[in-house]
Structure 1
């Protein structure tokens, strides 16, 4: 009888220690269980069994035999990746395709629900609420407030423009240098003023990798303004963006969130690495991952 196998390909951001790779792929698994798999030689790549001292390279194929426990772990919603935490704040990584909170079509699985499950395991004596949003297909850090008082003060901070968000985007065409996008965007049926600063990081072929900073916060602001400028976001079919080979989402990632701590702590700066699926697209195009 041929036993079913689980196979993964190591992405550039996953290279390195096998235990960390497994922890990333199976976030609900106890590290002791993953160590046991490595010690028993159950985890392999093409050249043989892996142990904790091995070094994974981008493109390596990691293989392990399927089991009832692994199937159960793979079926669990991933544990939220916490980027920063204080008494009043919790900043968590939002993957693309996951809604921030429950809405039509996303009632069962959303970021808020995953955090609530985590807090229930901790027996935390407080509730959390998102202070801002990211589009469904955008990845990056989301700030949650712990309790009503924190939510009010952090929400005011965002309304006052004291928080800064920087994005990485792959756009169509050649966009040179730095500048400001000020075309109005349509929000709730009306045209509203919006401002986005951009800076070119690298250009290659038919695409340009840019860094963007929002100076206002309109729905689909980046997507609408890039399209109006003639450089639509890649993967954005709604606003006319092309799709490079291998891209299965919007190429838009919030990589920095900076804000003063209104509760007397030091300023907060959170950086989020480019997700593996976007790094893979850049590598296929011959660009260096920033």
Structure 2
């Protein structure tokens, strides 16, 4: 017999949906048959699968060990075989803020936000390792919910990423990202002098083969293009090098948006050779950093601690060198 105790991350799910996710290799007909025969019970009672789960509920599976392992499948073990590798590879990342539901991490250059292939290690894997190492996750809890990032940065863009530790955290963070009520600001250095702030609007299309985007000022009436909006304010003009330090507000969030939008007005980011940026000795990436996040007011429980708050991720050393 196997007993599962429902936690906050499974609360609100239907029993049959939970079982189909948990017993990955079992058919729906098998699960309903087990429910009818009381080989699967909810709180020691017969269930039909339509019940909504609550935290603390007990699900018992009266299976042999062989049957249980068969229907759990090999995916479980494959998901854990690299547990710990990301933390060993990357070491500790700066944590800017953490509570019971979210972690704000200052991602370094050169780290993927999420893996592009099965063998990659990314911030997602680091997050799992970080929480597992702290004792906040177990292999059992990972089998029903995997913490993950909520917003992405390019591999060579550094700075703040929102990570969800819990399902309620993921739902709320994805909601405020989607409705754009969380404000995202970046710091970057561009070629040329920019005297005034401006709001840029346009339409962006990404070519997956070249991993490069195209921007048009006017609506091309083509569904493959997405509307984008980028705001910026000059922070400092570096006269000796004819460079400007900018703070950029990402209103919409599309791939390579800031890089391509600034290049389209003749002010490419230094080091960003893909979009015409100046090649700098000793710099093999674009100088773009997710610098600060401002959370909206009135987020409600359990997010009152971050309502209206601003969080800042310190600039990387390489960025500071160029400013100095």
Shift of 1:151: 1.0
Q: 2:304 aligns with which of 241, 248, 265?
A: 265
Q: 1:69 matched to which residue of 2? A: none
- SS of residue paired to 1:186: strand
Shift of 1:157: 1.2
Give distance in 2, aligned partners of 1:77 and 1:145: 20
| Structure 2 unmatched ranges of 5 or more | 1-87, 209-223
| Structure 1 unmatched ranges of 5 or more | 1-74, 284-290
Q: 1:163 matched to which residue of 2? A: 182
Give distance in 1, aligned partners of 2:245 and 2:178: 29
Give distance in 1, aligned partners of 2:249 and 2:149: 20
Shift of 1:182: 1.2
Q: 1:217 matched to which residue of 2? A: 253
Q: 1:114 matched to which residue of 2? A: 126
Higher radius of gyration, 1 or 2:
2
CA offset digits 1:202-240 (Å, max 9, x no partner) = 112321111100111111110111111011111111111
Shift of 1:149: 2.8
Contact 1:80 1:111 in 2 (8 A): no
Give distance in 1, aligned partners of 2:285 and 2:277: 11
User: C-alpha root-mean-square deviation of aligned residues, in Å?
Assistant: 1.9
- How many residue pairs match? The answer is 208
Q: Are the structure 2 counterparts of residues 107 and 206 from structure 1 closer, same or farther at C-alpha, using a change threshold of 3 Å? A: farther
Q: Are the structure 2 counterparts of residues 197 and 112 from structure 1 closer, same or farther at C-alpha, using a change threshold of 3 Å? A: same
Contact 2:102 2:166 in 1 (8 A): no
2:264 counterpart of 1:228:
yes
Give distance in 2, aligned partners of 1:146 and 1:118: 11
Please give the TM-score of this superposition, normalised by the length of structure 1. Answer: 0.67
Give distance in 1, aligned partners of 2:246 and 2:90: 32
CA offset digits 1:146-172 (Å, max 9, x no partner) = 222321221011101111111111111
Contact 2:123 2:149 in 1 (8 A): no
Give distance in 1, aligned partners of 2:275 and 2:282: 19
Q: 1:58 matched to which residue of 2? A: none
2:311 counterpart of 1:277:
no
Matches within 5 A, 1:55-66: none
- SS of residue paired to 2:260: helix
Q: 1:202 matched to which residue of 2? A: 236
- SS of residue paired to 1:133: coil
Matches within 5 A, 1:1-290: 76-104=89-117, 107-125=119-137, 127-187=146-206, 190-203=224-237, 204=239, 205-260=241-296, 261-262=299-300, 263-266=302-305, 267=307, 268-283=309-324
